[in-house]
């Protein structure tokens, strides 16, 4: 008589360890989030300070019209600073998270993102990365074309890195960034 051992079956999906590039990308994203949050906080404080200073200056000019202590140059400079602070605040209010999520959520793509350069003023983004081969780059471009936040996606340049043993393809992709409120 042959005794058989009981089978132990594990149907749970086991997590694969995160790749180093994914960990670095996560760390870079967290650092960028902290930097943006700190910049947003300081910009908001600066705007409040400039607006209160403008109110004070306007009250002083109304009280002392004959005794003009504040030149029109100072008021113009203050308005320019407020305009600049409002522009910074407007940039911080853009949907950065959805843009980065669309670009970085390509876990099945065999690519490594090196630099993401969004230009909020021009509504454009430039993506620099590395891939094992050209078909992987083209597959990533097709992936990006399915994302609603990006249009007019082009492979701007690509080259083989001959100095590295794996000879990866370094590429630059440009795209138009669709900003939806």
Q: What is the pLDDT of residues 123-170, one digit of tens each?
A: 888 999 898 888 988 988 888 888 888 889 999 999 988 888 888 889
Domain boundaries, the chain: 22-92, 96-177
pLDDT in tens, 45-101: 888 888 888 888 888 777 766 555 456 667 778 888 888 887 777 767 776 777 777
Q: Which CATH superfamily is domain 96-177 in?
A: General secretion pathway protein M, EpsM (3.30.1360.100)
Instruction: List % helix, strand, coil for the chain (3-state, nearest 5).
Output: 50, 20, 30
Alpha helices (H) in the chain, listed in sequence order: 20-63, 72-92, 96-104, 134-145
CA angle 7, 12, 15 (to 5 degrees): 125
Which residues are CB-neighbours of 40 under 8 A, at least 6 positions away?
A: 89, 92
DSSP state of 178: -
- Whole-model pTM: value is 0.51
């Amino acid at each position: 008589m042959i005794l058989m051992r009981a089978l132990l079956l594990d149907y749970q999906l086991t997590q694969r360890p995160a790749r180093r590039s994914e960990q670095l990308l996560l760390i870079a994203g967290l650092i960028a989030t902290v930097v943006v949050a700190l910049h947003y906080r300081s910009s908001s404080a600066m705007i409040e300070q400039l607006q209160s200073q403008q109110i004070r200056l306007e009250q002083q000019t109304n009280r002392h019209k004959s005794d003009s202590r504040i030149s029109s140059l100072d008021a113009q400079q203050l308005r320019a600073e407020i305009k600049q602070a409002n522009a910074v605040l407007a940039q911080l209010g853009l949907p950065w998270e959805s843009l980065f999520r669309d670009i970085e959520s390509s876990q099945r793509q065999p690519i490594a993102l090196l630099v993401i350069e969004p230009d909020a003023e021009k509504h454009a983004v430039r993506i620099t990365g590395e891939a094992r081969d050209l078909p992987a780059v083209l597959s990533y471009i097709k992936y990006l074309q399915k994302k609603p936040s990006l249009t007019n996606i082009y492979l701007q340049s690509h080259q083989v890195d001959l100095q590295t043993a794996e000879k990866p393809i370094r590429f630059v992709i440009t795209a138009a960034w669709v900003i939806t409120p």
